Every structure is written in C-alpha cells, then in structure tokens.
A and B are shown apart, each in its own frame.
Chain A
Amino acid sequence: MSTRLSKGGRLIDRSKPLSFTFNGRRMQGYAGDTLASALLGADQMLVGRSFKYHRPRGIIASGAEEPNALVGLGEGGKFEPNQRTTTTELFDGAVTASQNHWPSLEFDVGAINNKLGRFLPGGFYYKTFMYPRFAWKHVFEPIIRQSAGLGKAPTARDEDHYEYAYAFADVVVAGGGIAGLTAALAAAKAGKRVWLMEQTADWGGRAVVDAIEIDGKPAEDWVAETVAALSAMDNVTLRTRTMASGLFDHGYIMGYERVADHTPGDGRPRHRLWRIRAGHVITATGAIERSLSFAGNDIPGVMLASAVRDYVVNWAVSPGDRTVIVTNNDDAYRTALALLDAGLVVPTVIDARAEAKGALPEAVRARGVRVLAGHGIAKVKGGKRVTGVSVCIQEGEGAEIEAIACDAVAMSGGWSPVVHLWSHCGGKLIWDADRAMFRPDPNRPATGDDGAAMVTAVGSANGHLTADEVLTDAHKAAGGEGKAPAAAIEAEAPMMPVWIMPQGAGPALRMKMWLDPQNDVKVSDVQLAAREGYESVEHTKRYTTLGMATDQGKMSNINGLAILSDALHRPIPETGTTTFRPPYTPISIGAIAGEARGDIFQPLRRTPMHGWHETHGAHWEPVGLWRRPYCFLRTGEGVHDAVNREIRSVRNAVGLLDASTLGKIIVKGPDAGKFLDMLYTNMMSTLPVGKCRYGLMCSENGFLSDDGVVVRLSEDTWLCHTTTGGADRIHGWMEDWLQCEWWDWKVYTANVTEQYAQVAIAGPNARKLLEKLGGMDLSKEAIPFMEWREGTLGGFRARVHRISFSGELSFEVAVPASEGRAFWDALLAAGEEFGVAPYGTEAMHIMRAEKGFIMIGDETDGTVIPQDLNLQWAISKKKADYLGKRAQERSHMASPDRWKLVGLETLDGSVIPDGAYAVAEGVNANGQRNMQGRVTSTYYSPTLNKGIAMGLVKHGPDRMGEVIDFPVDDGKVVKARIVDPVFFDKDGEKQNV
C-alpha cells in the first residue's frame, strides 16, 4: 500500500495539514502536496477508470504527462472536470471525485468491456457502428454517449474570474530547471530583458530531487542562489505556476499562469493568460520518462521510476513497501537509491540490458540489492493494485523464471525530450539512435520574421540527459560568458531501446501491454492497425486513438510509433512523429475567455437615445455591436402585439424610429463624384446639390453588397448612407479603392456615423409634428420628396431629408449626436397630440416589405445581383464602368433563367416560413426534387391583415398570378400566388404628400 513516510519530503510542510475529500471520503495532506501526492499518501492507489475498458487506473506519473489520475474538482460554480491531480496543488477543503465509472469507482459495470476486450480492437468504432444504418442514432450513439467521456461538463456558471496580461521580452525561457535557470542568468547578465517561467510552484526541476552537486554545492542551494540572483535583476521577470503553453508565429508565446488555483477564494483571478512577444525563445522544458511495454503495465502501482522518486523525495510518499524496479537505463537506479535511503525495500532491479555495470548499478548492488540483467517483466500480477511480478528473460517469450511479490513497480523506458514548444511553430526533429529519442534538429528550427531561428532548445529538452551536459548546453546557448556551472555526476552506461518486454512476447501478452492507458490503446492495437494497412502515423493515431487522450501521449507516444515502425519493418525516423500542437497541456476555457464575458464580452455601441429606449420597454435586437429596439413593449403586451401596434401608429398617425445607427460617410474632394460613380451602380456625380438618391453598391463579382441614400451636400461633398451593419465595411471598401487602385484621385472619406443622431419621423402626421417644433418650411413645395434642407427645428441644428422607407410621409432628421436625446424628447413632447409613438426595427422591416423595398441581408445573400431584384432603374446605362459592371455581363449573370424578385401571397392568408423553397416538376441529376424559387422575406402584415412575402422565383416577373408550391414541415404544402412585390400604396400616394 502507498503511505506517507514519517520523515522527509522537501516540498511539504507538516505543520500545515490540509483536509480534502475524495469521492466523499475525508483525507488529509500537507501544504505543498499535489492532489496526487496527497491521494497516494492516503493510500488511494485506485483513482479512476480507463476510457474504453473501464480498467482500474492509478497514478503513474508526477507531472504533466500523467494520463490516468484525472478528477472532477470543486462543486457547483467551482466545478471543473478532468483536473490532473499531479499538477494540481492541494488546498484546504478541496472536493474531488473520480471519473468514468458507474455506479462506483470500486465497482464499475462498464468493466465488462474489459472482458469483451477481444471484441473491441483498434478501430472498433469504425468497424462496429456502420450497420445497420438506423442503429447508430437509436442504439449505438445513446450507449456510447452514456458510457464515454471522462468528466462531466459543468452545469453551473463559472464563479471564478480570469484575465489576460501582455508582456515583451528579448528572451523568454520556458522551464525553471537548472537548464532554464542557467540560460536565464546568462541572458540576463548580457543585458537582455528576460522572462523565465516554470510550470510548477518550485524551481529546480529534476536536479533538486536527484540531489546532484552543482559548483560544489547541493543542487537545492545552487538553485536558491541562482533564483535569488535573478530576482535581484531589474531586467528579469520570474513566474512560477506558469506554463509556456504554446509558441506561435514571430515569437508570440503564450503563458498560462495558475494564479489562484491553490488559494481559491482569495479574490485573485484564477488563471492569467500571458501573451508575450519574444525576441527569442529558449525551451528548457526538460524530458519525460517513457513507460515500458510489458503485460499488466497499467495496473495501479506501476509507476514511472522518476515519479516514484519524486513522491519519495518531494512529498515523503512511498508507493509501497516493496518496489521492483524495471529499466533499460542507469537513471532508474537513482530511484532504487532514493527508496533505500527512505528505508524502503527494493527486492530486485530488473534490467533489460545484457549487463548493468555502470556506477549507479554498482552503487545499488553495494546496498545489497539484487540486479537481474538481461531480464524483463513477463507480466504484473494484481487487479486494482500490484501484488507481484513475473520475471522472464528479455530475449525470450515470457516464460516465468521467478515470481517476486511487491506492491509497486517503478519502470523506466528511457527519456523523451519535451519538444512541444520547439515543434509548435515548425521546428523539426531528428532521431538520435544512440539515445533512442527524437530531439530538436538544430539546423531546422522554427524561424521568426527575420528568417533567423526564433527558438533554441537547451538541456534535456535538447536531448542532454546528464546534469553536466545540461548546464554546459544551456550556458552556451544563452550566450553565457566564462565558464558554465559544473555538475558532479556519475557516468552513465548507454541505455538500450526496449519497445516490447520481453521482445518475443506472444499475442496474449501483447494484448495486455498498454501504450495509452487513458484511451486503452495497447501494443496489439497498433500492430493490428499496421496489419490493416495503416502506414502513416497520423492515420494510425486516429484509427487507434493512440495519443489522443487528454495527456496527448506525452509518456508513451514514442513507444507506439516504435511498435508501428517495427510492424511496418522500417526505421523509426521514417515513421516520424504526430504533430505537436498547442497547448502543451489543456488550459482552461476561462483563461482563453479572460475578462470577455457578461457585460464586457464585447463593446456595446449606444445611440444617443439608447438610455431612453432602455427605460421604455425596448426589446433589443443586436445589429453588429449596436443594440436596436426591435419593438417597444408596453405593460402586459407581447412582442407580436407591440409590433402591430407600432405599424398601425405609423400608418395612421406618426412614429419615431431611432435611425442613428445608419452608416454616414462623407466623401469629399474634386474627384469625389467620379469616385462615387465607380462605387455605386447609379450615376452620383450628376446628383444636384440639395437632392437625395437611392444607390446600390456591388462587389467586383457583381453581387449586391450594400445600399442607402446618397445626399449631395455641396459641389464637392456627398454624404453616403449605408446599412447599419455595413458602415465600417463600406468605409474600409472606399479606402481600399482610394489607396490601392485610384490613389491619384483627389478624394477624402470620413466615417461620421457616430457624429449624428438621426430620427425617422414617419406617418400622416409627420409634417404637423415637425411644423409644431417650427423653424423651417417643410411644405411639399419647400422640400419635395427625395430632397433635403438644412435649418433649425425647435432650436436644434437639423438636416432634414425627405426620404421614406415605410411608404409614409416621412422625414429623416439628423442632428448633432450631443443633441440627439434632447431632440428625441422634444419630438415625443410635441407629438403627443398627434398620437406619436416610437417604433422598432421589426415594424420598419414589415412596412418596407409591404412597400416591396428590398433589405440587404434578406433579399441579398452574396449571390444576388441588382438585376435579380428588378433594380435595373438604379443601374446607370451611361457609365463606362462601375465596380461589378464587368461581372454583371458574364453569361450566368445575364441569363434570363436567374431567379427574380416577386411578391408572394398565400392562398389561405397564412405566413410562409422564412427560407421556404418552391418546388418544380421533376428531379435533378442527384435525384433531388427540382426547385424554382425561395422566400427571402415573410411577415404578417397588420395593414393588410394577411401574410405577405417576397421571394426569388425563376422567370418570376413573367409569371404573375401563377400559384406555386412551398412544401413546409410535416409534409404540408403552402400554396402561394406570384404577385407584384409592392403590396401597399402602389402609386406612392401616401409618401408624396
């Protein structure tokens, strides 16, 4: 059983006990513990179940590579699934729960899959669920959804808060082990602005655990002195609990700081996402130990050798009284020494190599421990925890030579440099056959904007596995002056690659050799994939799910691709690795969102009248970043009723629309007319001063892009109104052409959208209302339809346009934005006797549809040209050119078979569903029913008391009176007659008064 030792533990503070719960059971740990060390200290070896077979799972590792020990942490608004216990610091009152089992961790019904393992081979998802077709939706998917998935998604809103932070540095060093500290110090002494981040809470990495000597002193002292020296320098920023999660283009590196995970509730943000622009990045990210592939290597109690000594040395936790060590290298012997130093028993060290005669093996032998060279583990005995191992010859097929009782196994298959950051932005790897590892290829680094290397890997991350090499490499790479720090170390004998243990293991053993213990991918699965023709490592990954678990195969991916290479009879470098993608380990969605949630999710644009709308029942509609009132709800009124009331009020009395969001762009200069003639399909240069003209804009491929009323303000000045959503885009479009194509034309543009408040005053009483305000002659003669005048209205400086989007007598009045609210209030007060009421966007939409006016985004969708909408009258035939003209001459655009705008009137008066398609006779080449049109706008018209619609129909304008079919839900068909799209006041008598 695992237990807390009575003394030792360099990271824990025994004077500060912390209590927590696991599956409701109360447990105790110490300040400085991780959740994993605290669980092991409480003898909780079984911590979860695997994904596919629901096999018992224990803690394997002590860091980011941990595949198994994930828990749900917290409750309610603090709950988060899949928290890696090895990288989560213990805090008082932590509530944790294991995952992926039912009904309980100890007894899991899903473990039946384990017995069925023979029927769930690699790729079984693809093989099993294909047929019968109906079964996927009704049988397989519900079952898989019930049984799969790790943690449960949180249901409550996240109570914590998160933030972004930004930084710039000449050198960013990722990793606070001895390599990172050395590199940071060297760069800092050279005067560089240095950022050093370490993902754990403590500096020093492996060196302090292995208690090596650096410059004649214990590593712990050297690390403390170096950190102190760095802290004292103004040009250095040090961050613990901060992981370099990804490296992106041009030295953009992301740091994920776990600010308050260990001090929940102290008011600080939980996580902080650092977005750092680095001149150069040094990856000192160390190396990760590999597992060995022997049968039963997934049973709780089988751990990485380095993790075993981490737990003993850092947290005084013993994984068991008797720990067998199995290795292919010298480094694992350090684990034997650490266990012996702690007073624990190491029955045997099993070494796959033919001989083990290095300094470390000899030191272990000298302590009276038997070393079995040339041997391996045939299989591990036990179920929910290890009870012993069966020893065999490594060269053989797995016949048991002897059985050794033990309660833990420490395994080491060698080390893999952490090359993620190096690789994220295109750094390449080379295969180092001597050390059986992929390491960074110094000749093919990721490059920056200057074409030079932007990343350097140092230390173990660069393939150096001994402290002296690590220090020399880091010092040199960071441009260190003078001598590098020196480490006193034992010479190590070469490791021997071992991909299967024993090498001749038969199918029965290979089926129990786990490569990916979280996703349950075994040696036999990868071999099967190879037999089935999977040659690419990327395909094999997806077929078998190897390395697709939340740990992304940090521990054992190399083992998997070595097995694949072997099965395909080709060298490992030919197989290569899968792609390393950021983030290095999962980061919280909260950190990615930062502060952008709730009210500050995005900026909100407010018109000068926004506050009034807010207090008068506005039912909001988001339009870009604006909020526009969809309608104004009165007490007890529904949305539909409010819209209809507003329409009746405009049609019968007078209504006010806040039109301030409409885009307003000033175009000015000697060539402004010529420029607008290119931009609009109409002729704008001939528009007389004092007049308005409705205009259309198209993209170069001819499609309608925006519309609006253009106003000639003076000889050289035009004001272009755009749609609400189009203002910024159209302004950018104008600038594009002026700067990049017609840069010799003398034109200025200015987007003045927010400089003016604009109100549409529409309805039979509109003129009376404005005349009551007084100050301008607003008679039909003084300001005819489609003209504008400037003056004062009730004391407000006003530009009055006689334009109408509702079909009513209508004035659109622009006043300075600062006077907008006062003007609005004045209109309401003056209009009381005329029955004035504000109206929203939906009433506007319906009234324009009653009049057959098109709406950008309804009648257009990026595939519609003005000719489709019968807008030929707005296309100048005199102009040699305008944007979109050439495209509209293309054969498909000029085809008489294009769908064209018509009105649609249902025979039963109902409202056709939006987007409904009209069917034609026959079927197309794919056997689908032919179509002949679709609905683009559809409303209930309170004015006409029936459903009205507009749509695009093939040869539509030539088919007036014809009835066509619109199939809708449930097999029903709506019949509609093709009619003129102008439903109301066809002659415009209401607006021309």
Chain B
Amino acid sequence: MLTLECPYCGVKAEETELQAGGEAHLKRYGPGASDEEFEGYLFMRKNPKGVHFERWRHAYGCGKWFLAARCTATLEVFGTYPAQSTQPPVDLQAKIKAKRPNWEGYK
C-alpha cells in the first residue's frame, strides 16, 4: 500500500485515503480534433516501467487532486505537486534526472 504526501494538506496519506486517477499531464482534445488526436487523448497511455506521472485525489482527506512522480517498478516516489501544473516542477525533473540518468523526460 503506497504512501503519498498530499501537497495541499501536507499529510503523508495511505493509499486507502487516496483515489487513483491515471496518467497526468494529458492534453484534452474536444470537438474539432482529428480522430488520431482524440484517440490519443482518450486511449493511448505511456504505461512505462519506470518514471511515471500520475493523478491522485486525497479523496478521504482534503479532497484535492494532486500529481505524483513515481517509479512504477520500484515504487519510489520522487515527489508530489499541485494538480494545477502544466508540467512537473523543474526541480522535481532535475531530481528525477539525477536519480535516473536514462530517463527521457516527462513528455
């Protein structure tokens, strides 16, 4: 059972307090988007073995959504940050790069 620190209330929350929300930093495509763009938005996920950015909600705590950078293989948590982020914080990216030199970046 994972523990993730909620960046809003500062609680190191147990997984039972959290709700998983899948991959983070997806771009929404709506009407006007091509079939390929929309398919990518709706279905295509990175599902990496390694560094992954994900959405979590502190559902049974403060109720806020936040984002987490986590290694899916070792379960190491590199950091959590507010959902209102268009990309992972620069210092977090640097921290991950230092720990995982072969990491290709979040894009």
By a beta-carbon cutoff of 8 Å, the part of chain A in contact with chain B is: 248-250, 252, 277, 426, 447-451, 700-701, 732, 735-736, 739-741, 743, 880-881, 885-887, 889-890
CB closest residue in chain A, given B14: A277
CB closest residue in chain A, given B64: A739
CB closest residue in chain A, given B63: A735
Contacts of B1-52 to chain A: CB distance below 8 A? 1-4, 14-15, 19, 21, 28-33, 35, 38, 42
Check B84 against A743 for contact (C-beta < 8 Å): yes
B94 to chain A, nearest CB (A): 15
Contacts of B51-107 to chain A: CB distance below 8 A? 55, 57, 59, 63-65, 71, 74-77, 83-84, 99
CB closest residue in chain B, given A738: B65
6 residue pairs bridging A and B, Cβ less than 8 Å apart:
A248-B1, A250-B3, A447-B75, A743-B83, A886-B32, A889-B31
Q: Which residues of A contact B65 (CB under 8 A)?
A: 735-736, 739-740
Check A741 against B2 for contact (C-beta < 8 Å): no
Q: Which residues of B contact A700 (CB under 8 A)?
A: 28, 42
Of residues A249, A426, A449, which shows the largest number of chain B Cβ atoms within 10 Å of its Cβ?
A449
Q: Which residues of B contact A426 (CB under 8 A)?
A: 74
Check B83 against A249 for contact (C-beta < 8 Å): no
Contact of B31 among A450, A735, A880 (CB under 8 A): A880
By a beta-carbon cutoff of 8 Å, the part of chain B in contact with chain A is: 1-4, 14-15, 19, 21, 28-33, 35, 38, 42, 55, 57, 59, 63-65, 71, 74-77, 83-84, 99
Q: Which residues of A contact B4 (CB under 8 A)?
A: 449
Contact of A249 among B1, B30, B63 (CB under 8 A): B1
Given the known inter-chain contacts A248-B1, A447-B76, A449-B77, please indicate yes or no for A887 contacting B21, CB distance below 8 A. Answer: no
Q: Which residues of B contact A886 (CB under 8 A)?
A: 29-33, 38
Bound state CA distance, A910 and B71, in angstroms?
A: 58
A449 to chain B, nearest CB (A): 4
Q: Which residues of B contact A250 (CB under 8 A)?
A: 1-3, 75
Q: Which residues of A contact B84 (CB under 8 A)?
A: 739-740, 743
Bound state CA distance, A651 and B84, in angstroms?
A: 52
Q: Which residues of B contact A449 (CB under 8 A)?
A: 2-4, 75-77
A890 to chain B, nearest CB (A): 7
B9 to chain A, nearest CB (A): 14
A133 to chain B, nearest CB (A): 39
Bound state CA distance, A252 and B30, in angstroms?
A: 42
CB closest residue in chain A, given B71: A451
Contact of B3 among A277, A447, A739 (CB under 8 A): A277
A518 to chain B, nearest CB (A): 32
Given the known inter-chain contacts A735-B63, A880-B31, A886-B33, please indicate yes or no for A447 contacting B74, CB distance below 8 A. Answer: yes
Q: Which residues of B contact A890 (CB under 8 A)?
A: 35, 38
CB closest residue in chain B, given A742: B28
B70 to chain A, nearest CB (A): 9
Q: Which residues of B contact A448 (CB under 8 A)?
A: 75-76
Bound state CA distance, A447 and B70, in angstroms?
A: 13
Bound state CA distance, A863 and B52, in angstroms?
A: 30
Check A736 against B30 for contact (C-beta < 8 Å): no
Q: Which residues of B contact A248 (CB under 8 A)?
A: 1
Of residues B19, B55, B76, which shows the largest number of chain A Cβ atoms within 10 Å of its Cβ?
B76
Q: Which residues of B contact A451 (CB under 8 A)?
A: 71, 74, 76, 99
Bound state CA distance, A411 and B84, in angstroms?
A: 65
Q: A249-B2, A451-B74, A740-B83 are in contact. List 19 more A-B contacts (CB 8 A).
A: A250-B1, A250-B3, A250-B75, A277-B14, A447-B74, A448-B75, A450-B76, A450-B77, A732-B19, A735-B57, A735-B63, A736-B65, A743-B83, A743-B84, A881-B31, A885-B30, A886-B30, A887-B42, A890-B38
Bound state CA distance, A223 and B35, in angstroms?
A: 71
Check B57 against A736 for contact (C-beta < 8 Å): yes
Check B1 against A252 for contact (C-beta < 8 Å): yes
CB closest residue in chain B, given A166: B14
Q: Which residues of B contact A252 (CB under 8 A)?
A: 1
Contact of A732 among B3, B14, B57 (CB under 8 A): B57
Given the known inter-chain contacts A887-B42, A890-B35, please indicate yes or no for A740 contacting B30, CB distance below 8 A. Answer: no
Bound state CA distance, A115 and B77, in angstroms?
A: 58
Check A741 against B28 for contact (C-beta < 8 Å): yes
Q: Which residues of A contact B38 (CB under 8 A)?
A: 886-887, 890
Bound state CA distance, A627 and B98, in angstroms?
A: 54
Q: Which residues of A contact B28 (CB under 8 A)?
A: 700, 741
CB closest residue in chain B, given A880: B31
A847 to chain B, nearest CB (A): 36
Bound state CA distance, A743 and B65, in angstroms?
A: 11
CB closest residue in chain A, given B55: A740
CB closest residue in chain A, given B67: A740
CB closest residue in chain A, given B29: A886
A551 to chain B, nearest CB (A): 27
CB closest residue in chain B, given A251: B3
Bound state CA distance, A701 and B63, in angstroms?
A: 25
B83 to chain A, nearest CB (A): 5
B107 to chain A, nearest CB (A): 19
B93 to chain A, nearest CB (A): 16
CB closest residue in chain A, given B3: A250
CB closest residue in chain B, given A426: B74
Bound state CA distance, A889 and B65, in angstroms?
A: 30
Q: Which residues of A contact B1 (CB under 8 A)?
A: 248-250, 252
B51 to chain A, nearest CB (A): 12
Q: Which residues of A contact B30 (CB under 8 A)?
A: 881, 885-886
Bound state CA distance, A889 and B39, in angstroms?
A: 12
Bound state CA distance, A889 and B35, in angstroms?
A: 10
CB closest residue in chain B, given A699: B42
Given the known inter-chain contacts A249-B1, A250-B1, A250-B2, please indicate yes or no for A739 contacting B42, CB distance below 8 A. Answer: no
Bound state CA distance, A426 and B1, in angstroms?
A: 14
Check B31 against A885 for contact (C-beta < 8 Å): yes
B2 to chain A, nearest CB (A): 5
Bound state CA distance, A469 and B29, in angstroms?
A: 63
Q: Which residues of B contact A740 (CB under 8 A)?
A: 21, 55, 65, 83-84
Q: Which residues of A contact B76 (CB under 8 A)?
A: 447-451
CB closest residue in chain A, given B19: A732
CB closest residue in chain A, given B99: A451
Q: Which residues of A contact B31 (CB under 8 A)?
A: 880-881, 885-886, 889
Check A249 against B75 for contact (C-beta < 8 Å): yes
CB closest residue in chain A, given B28: A741
Closest 4 CB pairs of A and B: A451-B76, A449-B77, A739-B65, A743-B84
Bound state CA distance, A447 and B71, in angstroms?
A: 11
Bound state CA distance, A520 and B13, in angstroms?
A: 46
Bound state CA distance, A485 and B32, in angstroms?
A: 75
Bound state CA distance, A410 and B12, in angstroms?
A: 52
CB closest residue in chain B, given A451: B76
Check B83 against A739 for contact (C-beta < 8 Å): yes
CB closest residue in chain B, given A702: B42
Q: Which residues of A contact B15 (CB under 8 A)?
A: 249
Q: Which residues of A contact B77 (CB under 8 A)?
A: 449-450
Bound state CA distance, A740 and B27, in angstroms?
A: 11
A531 to chain B, nearest CB (A): 35
Bound state CA distance, A889 and B57, in angstroms?
A: 31
Q: Which residues of A contact B63 (CB under 8 A)?
A: 735
A702 to chain B, nearest CB (A): 9
Q: Which residues of B contact A739 (CB under 8 A)?
A: 64-65, 83-84
A667 to chain B, nearest CB (A): 16
CB closest residue in chain A, given B21: A736
Q: Which residues of A contact B57 (CB under 8 A)?
A: 732, 735-736
